Amino acid sequence: MSSLTLVIADGIAEIQLDDGKVNALSESMLEQLLSAMAEAAQADAALLISGRPGCFSGGYDRKLIDAGGPACDAMRAAGDRLTLALLDYPAPVVIASSGHAMAKAAFVLLLADYRVGAEGAFRIGLNEVAIGMTMPRGAMAQARARLAPQWLNRCALQAEYLDPEQALAAGFLDELQPADRLLERARDKTRQLAALDRRAFRETRALLHASLRNELAQLFG
């Protein structure tokens, strides 16, 4: 059963993640997301990614992380490919963060062109240290490149969980909206970015991302 839906219309591709739970980024979910993104890119569509009400994603599948082994390695490899796919996507990428966004999901927020977050009692954060993991070098590179410097220590080293207002200040989000207006606003923003000159947008974003993209390509091999 698919854990996401893809709708492409009028130059906009909408991907909604919904596994009925916390949208854990298992290898299966990641492969579905990568396939949907490739289809959207083929259609030259601006991209809007959203989660289920109350939860954008809890990040990597915790069971696989705890178990380790080949299945965990495959999941992480798919996650690395998603990182590069977001940086390389040939059109604007907007995320409607519908609630909680933890670990890998928070890094996904950092890689989008614009992020609209839902107001509410939600947690956004990089919890690697909190669960006993040393943050991978590629993840640290993304945090350094995208988070406001004064928040980096609290987010990356102290694994602090942020509410939406703090996440806005730290750099995970660009604006907040009530949950019932989240998708409407994210769609408006996607249409606005889609109307920009596509070549100029793509080439300028490549310049903006060049240092991080090159560093990640070397780390991911």
Measure CA 56 to chain center.
9
- Least confident piece of the model among 18-27, 62-71, 81-90, 97-106: 62-71
pLDDT in tens, 44-57: 999 999 999 999 99
Residues 6+ apart with CB under 8 A from 200: none
pLDDT at 65: 86
User: How sure is the predictor about 66, in pLDDT bands with cuts at 50, 70 and 90?
Assistant: confident
User: How sure is the predictor about 221, in pLDDT bands with cuts at 50, 70 and 90?
Assistant: confident
Q: What distance in Å separates the CA atoms of residue 137 and residue 164, rounded to the nearest whole number?
A: 26
- Residue 42 predicted with pLDDT over 90: yes
Q: What distance in Å separates the CA atoms of residue 32 and residue 20, rounded to the nearest whole number?
A: 15
Contact 150, 99 (CB under 8 A): no
Share of the chain above pLDDT 90, in %: 95
Answering whether pTM is above 0.85, one says: yes
pLDDT at 52: 96
- Residue 81 predicted with pLDDT over 60: yes
> Where along the chain do its domains lie?
4-220
For the residues 138-165, what does the mean pLDDT come to?
A: 98
pLDDT at 57: 98
Share of the chain above pLDDT 70, in %: 100
pLDDT at 28: 95
pLDDT at 23: 97
- Residue 200 predicted with pLDDT over 60: yes
- Residue 12 predicted with pLDDT over 90: yes
pLDDT at 146: 97
For the residues 84-88, what does the mean pLDDT come to?
A: 97
User: How sure is the predictor about 2, in pLDDT bands with cuts at 50, 70 and 90?
Assistant: confident
Q: Which CATH code is given to the segment(s) 4-220?
A: 3.90.226.10
Measure CA 144 to chain center.
16
Q: How is residue 89 written in tokens?
A: 């996507």
User: How sure is the predictor about 1, in pLDDT bands with cuts at 50, 70 and 90?
Assistant: low
